[in-house]
Amino acid sequence: MLSETSEDTTKQSRNRVGSFLSRRDVQQAIRAWVFWAVTLGGLGYLLIPHLMTDSASKTMDIVKSTFMAFYYTSVPVAAVVLGIATQTVLHNRHAGTVPPPDDNPAIETNQMANIVWVVISSALCVFLLVWGLVVENVVAEPSRAANATVVNVTGQQWIWTFNYPAARKDTNELYLPVDQPVIFKVQSKDVTHAFWIVQMGIKINANRGEITETAVTPNKIGVFDVRCAELCGLLHAHMQTRVHVVSKADYEKWLANQGSVEQWPAS
Amino acid sequence: MVPVNKALRTLGVIAIGSLVVSLCAILAIGVSKPPSILKAIQNGKAQTTEGLLPAAHMEISIWPDSMRGMHGAHGGAHPGFVSYGPTSHFQVPAHSVVTITFKQYDSGEKISNPYFAKVHGTVDGSMTLDGKKVSGIDPNAVGHTFTVHGMNTGQPDMFLSIPLPPTDEDAEPEPNGYAKPHIITATFITGAAGHYIWNCEYPCGDGSYAKFGNAMSTGGYMSGIFDVVDANA
Amino acid sequence: MASELITEDRTRHSAEKSVGIIRHLNLGTAVIVGALLAVTVNRIATKLIFEGDETWRRHDQIVMATMLAWFIGFMIGIGALVGPTRWFFGKDLNHDEAMFLAGKDMGLKRYFRYTTDHKVVGIQYLILTITLFFIGGVLAMLIRTNLGHESGGLIPPQVYNSIVGFHGLIMIIATIIMITGPFGNFILPIMIGARDMAFPRLNALSFWLLISILPILAATIALGGIPMGWSGYNPLADQGPLGVDSYIFTIVIFAISSAVAGANITTTAMKMRARGMNWSRTPLFVFGTVASVALALPAFPVFMLSQVMSAMDRAFGANFFNPEFGGSAWLYENLFWIMGHPEVYVILIPAVVAIMEITPVFARKPLFSFNMAIVGIFGIVGLSIFVWAHHMYISGWAPLLNGPFMLTTELISIPTGLLFLVILGTIWRGSVWTRLPMLSVYALLFNFIIGGVTGIFLSDVPEDAALHGSMFVTAHFHYTLMGAGLTGALGALAYWFPKMTGRMLDEKLGRISFWLVQIGFTVTFFGMFAVGLEGQPRRVEAYDIIFKNGNLISTMGAYTIFIGMLILLAAVITSWRNGEIAGSNPWGAQTLEWMTPTPVPLENFEVLPVVTTNPYQYGIKQETSS
């Protein structure tokens, strides 16, 4: 053959890939990769959803689906690392006090491996970024809602208090109507705290002298937890309170209850 | 290296390491002597909106220094710190109606969060101040508060906050040397057993501006444990 | 020619007399002078500084003056100022004094002096690192014991918060110095074919600066502890007790020490490589160590600055972090994290390059893609300066910047991936010589992939809103700093132990320790991932009952780690004293430090070597690579 046709070049590459894939050590590595991908993926599928807290908002649904998506994306990557490591440990071990014989291939680099690696990690990076930007936008929807309720949140050592400016009501437990966006304007009276509604997946620092904002639309009726997520001194661990998400009717009833100041209900 | 010697040495290192940890643990746990527990005294039953419940009562004082209460005759490590007493660990019975009497011997000023100038968590949202029924005090003159709260899960929610006014400027001194305090009583109903904490929400401590340092951030002065226990415990 | 360098010059006995004051200065004199000066200044300050309106400021000022006096006294007493004082008069140390300081013929005493021999400083750093890890480990046991107890609450909250802060501070200091200290000092100059570092006296200085802060750290316990975590966030630190002043002082001195060490290592690597050792023949360990300290040089002074500002807020009523008068807590957070993120790469990169140095030796294969390793290391260094605000996604500081910081943070995964490529490419088709150092290579791969991936979860802004400040974050950074970092350091220890001590580290004990630590580590921190996902905040001494099981599992894993680490300590002590005597090159490695006899002579090489190839010449050369 004086010159190679493109058909020949394609056949050559396919032959090279083919011969690469049919090599014994590559086969072993692929088997190890499959093992790790299935194990890690399976474990994640079975365990992680049980560990993650209940969801009470679309934001938290997105948090959970992002976690799983990123997890399943990283499983094949981790499986490559663990697969290669496993293959070498299973098949190339040399014990003893004398160094192994110096008969391994002196591979200083491999252009194809380098390029494939960089391309795939860049593609993964782009995927992560795009996903992140998209969900960031979706999660910010409640903050753009026109009919959002506003609640002022005050953190101080070591209690959260809430103020409903429209109704001029102060409480130490949050009451929110379901399916209604709410914007929290958060501040602190002393040190930095972090206002965290665990099951709704929102968190924002409470700073003295600044008002920070976060927003969410609760979509489930129930009782959920507010915890402080920034070390704020002696009783930081106990700086917790409740969020009660109730139907719109119950919320209006609660809001109108101007009479006595709160007693905690025997719940 | 003889294997037995090596094994012995290894066990020795493990033993010494564990000993160091144990000593440090004992030190850490015991460094502040746990305060004695003040238990509410049970006295019969009382009629409430939730029916007839066992009643109990307790008395708590707040002093402008640590000479009284649990810190020792010389005020302990920080004689100048405001101190609640007679101890900082309180215990009340579950499913009862509890009345606490407060004697607040310290001065006060404007509170940073007026929410805590109001009464929260009592049977009808009020307390008695020198015999008069009130639902809050002037936020510009707050001495201290007694605020009980705790973790959410595994126990009933509890939130109780009693604002305590400062002593009057022209108050006569009592025989114990402190200015005459106002007497506050607050009555609340406890639920099932639980482990809570209490702290004061009027910042009078150290720090350039937040004033939650010093006494407010040192356990046993203006913070402590508040337990609700079953009556048979 | 050679004999003149190493043998004692017998004709100059009288010259010993020309060694002046430095022959009397050692750790003992340093402590005495430091204590005297501290007490004196304390008395004077107590009398002179008047009570103002805010009495606590006066206490802060007295404490800081006392600590400063201790520090200056200690430095005078150890002999750090002899050189500079002589320069002031146009002189310097004479040859005999220099040899005295180099620890010539001094035996064990040279470890307690201002000795300039880099090998002595390396061993000093090794002992210091082991001690710091022991203390940090004991504190970790206290933390986990408290958290293993149902719902916590065993140790009072004030003490607990201080223990957590101390654990963090001591571990951060220990992990920063754990590879550049012992191995960057002992091994690196020999590895590049030099006789010592560029600035031997600065070398001693960087070590003794660290020793000077140990009593200050210990004093914190008596001064009320540190209630704000090792990150020292203001305003919480502003209202803290006097212990916060010792914390501030510790950070300032530590920053100086690491700047000094950084300048030293960088200059040494740039200027003192052997003939023929151009950059493509320089071992990767050198690149990584230089990258790490070069990253620390701009980063740590920012931390130091934040502490000086904190000190001024506390002691002089400055309002840097007080919003009422124009300051801001966000200012502190930014300053801290501008240091805080590069700092984790300062910790991580030496560990990874130590592993990269070990892998070719034990796989008997050249390092795969040296150039990609360089791109990876310096890519990380470059990018790490632009990612800091991913720690501040939920601080509310600049929500519009969350997206850009998410971009830079996720970009860092690309150079990090290259590091994996290099290690994997080296072990692929190589041998697996199952000695102790090789175990660490595999452990690093396993732990670092988990640490890295969990970091990716946190880099996503909405994900971070759910996970920030929870135990998930704690587990993530332990996976990277301890699972990858410490594992790399332990591998380095096993690898270079024969060169530094002349003995082999006991394999059997080492293996038992390795498995206990790694299995315990996995159990501990998976328990933590679980409770973090479930919603447990971090830095808490008590928690909701729903987190009970996860915490119990973590605690049991932690005890396993502790036993494993104690076994390693026993192995180090046993082997150092009675271990199998090592030859000069027990691993058959090719970097220059293995070409010297063991124990390494005072000036390292009889004749300075000339380098002709890179040190990864293993295996049979191939026609084509595949």
Residues in chain B: 233
C564: enclosing H helix or E strand? helix C548-578
Distance CA A65, CA A62 (A): 5
Please compute the mean of the pLDDT values over residues A6-24 and round it to a whole number.
81
CB proximity under 8 Å: C 41-80 to B? 54, 56
Pair (A135, A207) in one structural domain? no
pLDDT at residue C399 tops 70: yes
User: Is residue A200, in this structure, part of any structural domain at all?
Assistant: yes
Please state whether the peptide bond connecting residue C599 to the residue before it is cis, i.e. omega within 30 degrees of 0.
yes
Confidence of residue A266 (pLDDT cuts 50, 70, 90): very low
How many Å apart are CA C137 and CA C565, to the nearest integer? Answer: 9
The CA distance from C526 to the nearest CA of chain A, in Å, is 11
**Shortest CA distance from A139: residue in chain C:** C462
pLDDT score of C22 more than 70: yes
pLDDT in the model for residue A4: 63
**Segment (H or E) for A188:** strand A182-188
Taking an 8 Å cut-off on Cβ atoms, the answer to whether A99 and C619 are in contact is no
Write down the pLDDT at residue B1. 52
Q: Which chains lie within 8 Å of chain B at 3 or more CB pairs, if any?
A: A, C
Beta bridge partners of residue A175, listed in sequence order: A244
What's the order of all strands across the beta sheet hosting A193-197?
A174-177, A240-246, A222-228, A193-197, A202-206
- Mean pLDDT computed over A38-53: 93
pLDDT-derived band at C182 (thresholds 50, 70, 90) equals very high
Provide the pLDDT for residue C623.
Answer: 62
Domain of residue A235 covers 143-256
* Predicted confidence (pLDDT) per residue in A95-119, tens digit: 988 999 998 999 999 999 999 999 9
Q: Does the residue A105 lie in any domain?
A: no
For A171, nearest residue in chain B (alpha carbons): B115
What is the helix (H) or strand (E) element at residue C507, kind and residue range? helix C507-534
What are C569-616's pLDDT values in tens digits? 999 999 999 899 999 999 999 999 999 998 999 889 989 999 999 999
Residues of A at the B interface, defined by Cβ within 8 angstroms: 154, 156-159, 161, 163, 170, 172-173, 189-191, 208, 225, 227, 233-235, 237-238, 240-242, 260-264, 266-267
Pick among C58, C133, C138 to test the B interface (most B CBs inside 10 A): C138
Cα–Cα distance measured from residue C487 to residue C352, given in angstroms and rounded to the nearest whole number: 9
Q: SS3 for C601?
A: coil
CB of A107 within 8 Å of any CB in chain C? Answer: yes
pLDDT of residue B233: 46
pLDDT at C6: 44
Closest CA to C204 of C121, C98, C86: C121
Chain-chain contact of A131 with C460 (C-beta, under 8 angstroms): yes
For residue range C408-461, list pLDDT tens digits in order.
999 999 999 999 999 999 999 999 999 999 999 999 999 999 999 999 999 999
Interface mutation vs chain A, best among C147, C226, C364, most A CBs within 10 Å: C364
C-alpha–C-alpha distance, residues B152 and B96, integer Å: 21
How far, in Å, CA of C362 to CA of C377, rounded? 22
User: Is the confidence at residue A261, as pLDDT, over 60?
Assistant: no
Which are the contacts of A114, defined by CB distance < 8 A and separation ≥ 6? Answer: C369, C372, C421
Q: Is residue A82 part of a domain?
A: yes
Based on its alpha-carbon atoms, the radius of gyration of chain B, rounded to whole angstroms, reads: 22
Q: Are residues B102 and B183 in the same domain?
A: yes
B31 touches chain C (CB under 8 A): yes
Say if C530 is an interface residue toward chain A (CB within 8 Å).
yes
Which residues are CB-neighbours of C608 under 8 A, at least 6 positions away?
C193, C194, C195, C274, C275
Partners of B148 in beta bridges? B160, B198
Helix (H, G, I), strand (E, B) or coil at A202: strand
Q: What are the chain B neighbours of C317 within 8 Å (beta carbons)?
A: 208
Q: Do B81 and B125 fall into the same domain?
A: yes
Residue C494, φ and ψ in degrees, nearest 5? -60, -35
Q: C301-344 pLDDT, tens per residue?
A: 999 999 999 999 988 888 899 888 889 999 999 999 999 999 99
Are C574 and B9 a contacting pair at CB < 8 A? yes
* Contact list, A216 vs chain C (CB under 8 Å): none
Same domain, B14 and B81: no
Out of C366, C396, C587, the one facing A107 most closely (by C-beta) is C366
Closest CA to A219 of A245, A248, A184: A245
Percent of residues in chain B assigned helix, strand, coil, to nearest 5 = 15, 35, 45
Helix (H) or strand (E) holding A47: helix A24-51
CB-based contact (8 Å) between A90 and chain C?
A: no
Which pLDDT band, with edges at 50, 70 and 90, does C43 fall under? very high
Question: Chain C, 528-567: which have a CB under 8 Å from a chain B CB?
Answer: 542-546, 562-563, 566-567
What CATH code is assigned to C116-595? 1.20.210.10
B4 and B60 in a single domain? The answer is no
Same domain, B119 and B63: yes
pLDDT-flagged residues of chain B (< 50): 233
Same domain, B14 and B55: no
Same domain, B41 and B156: yes
pLDDT tier, C108 (very low <50, low <70, confident <90, very high otherwise): confident
Asked whether residue B6 falls in the same domain as residue B62, the answer is: no
Specify the pLDDT at position C54: 63
Q: Widest CA span of chain C, in angstroms?
A: 82
Which residue among B9, B212, B213 places its CB closest to the CB of C570? Answer: B9
Confidence of residue C12 (pLDDT cuts 50, 70, 90): very low
Phi/psi zone of residue B198: left (φ > 0), alpha (ψ -120 to 50 degrees), beta? Answer: beta
Distance (Å) from the alpha carbon of C531 to chain B's nearest alpha carbon:
14
The first and second tokens of residue B65, run together, are: 């220094």
Tokens coding C52: 């103002």
In B, which residues are within 8 Å of C157 by CB distance?
A: 219
Pair B151, B113: CB distance under 8 Å: no
- Both B82 and B183 in one domain: the answer is yes
Q: Domain limits of chain C?
A: 21-87+94-104+111-115, 116-595
Whether residue C235 lies within 8 A of chain B, CB to CB, comes out as yes
B122: CATH: 2.60.40.420
Q: Residue C528: which H helix or E strand, with range?
A: helix C507-534
At residue B209, the pLDDT reads 63
Amino acid at C310: S
Contact B59, B103 (CB under 8 A): yes
Q: Which residues have CB under 8 Å from C340's CB, separation 6+?
A: C231, C303, C388, C391
What amino acid occupies position C540?
A: V
For residue C435, the one-letter residue type is R
Same domain, A164 and A211: yes
Other beta carbons less than 10 A from residue C424's beta carbon: 20
User: Cα C28 vs. chain centroid, distance in angstroms?
Assistant: 26
Beta carbons of A106 and C619 less than 8 angstroms apart: yes
In chain C, whose CA is at the least distance from the CA of B210?
Answer: C239
Asked if residue A106 belongs to a domain, the reply is no
- pLDDT tens digit sequence for C359-388: 999 999 999 999 999 999 999 999 999 999
Residue that has been written with the tokens 């007490």 in this structure: C39
Contacts of A159 in chain B (CB under 8 A): 147, 149, 201
From first CA to last CA, the distance across chain B in angstroms is 58
Indicate yes or no: CB of A234 within 8 angstroms of CB of C370.
no
Nearest to C480 by CA among C609, C381, C361, C348: C348
Alpha helices in C223-328 (DSSP H): 243-271, 284-316
Residues C476, C459: Cα–Cα separation, whole Å = 12
Residue A147 shares a structural domain with residue A130:
no
Q: Which residues of A touch C368 (CB under 8 A)?
A: 107-110
Q: How far apart are the C-alpha atoms of C567 and C510, rounded to whole Å?
A: 8
Give the residue from chain B lying closest to A163, CA to CA.
B115
Alpha carbon distance B232, C15 (integer Å): 86
Determine if the peptide bond prior to A99 is cis (ω within 30°): no
Q: Which among C370, C430, C533 has the least Cβ separation from residue A104?
A: C430
* H helix or E strand, kind and range, residue A170: strand A169-171
Q: Range with the lowest mean pLDDT among C7-16, C123-132, C210-219? A: C7-16
Q: Measure CB to CB from residue B29 to each of C154, C543, C574 and give the nearest one.
A: C154
| Tens of pLDDT, residues C520-574 | 999 999 999 999 999 999 999 999 989 999 999 999 999 999 999 999 999 999 9
In this predicted structure, what is the pLDDT of residue C222? Answer: 86
Is the pLDDT at C175 greater than 90? The verdict is yes
Which is more confidently placed, A136 or B49? A136
Please report, rounded to a whole number, the percentage of residues in chain C having pLDDT higher than 70: 96
What residue numbers bound the domain in which B141 lies?
Answer: 35-229
pLDDT for the residue C15: 44
d(CA C105, CA C122): 17
Check if the beta carbon of residue B233 is closer than 8 Å to that of residue B142: no
Mean pLDDT, all residues of chain C: 91
What's the number of domains chain A is made of?
A: 2
Same domain, A81 and A195: no
List of chains touching C (3+ CB pairs within 8 A): A, B
Side-chain half-sphere CA neighbours of A254 within 13 A: 19
Q: What's the number of CA atoms in the CB half-sphere (13 Å) around residue A100?
A: 22
List of residues 6+ apart from A192 with CB closer than 8 A: A205, A206, A207, A208, A230, A232, C233, C235, C236, C329
A79 and A160: one domain? no
Same domain, B26 and B50: no
Chain C contact set for A142 (CB, 8 A) = none
Residue A101: inside a domain? no
CATH value at residue A246? 2.60.40.420
Residue B52 contacts C, CB cutoff 8 Å: no
**Judgement on whether residues B17 and B84 belong to the same structural domain of the protein:** no
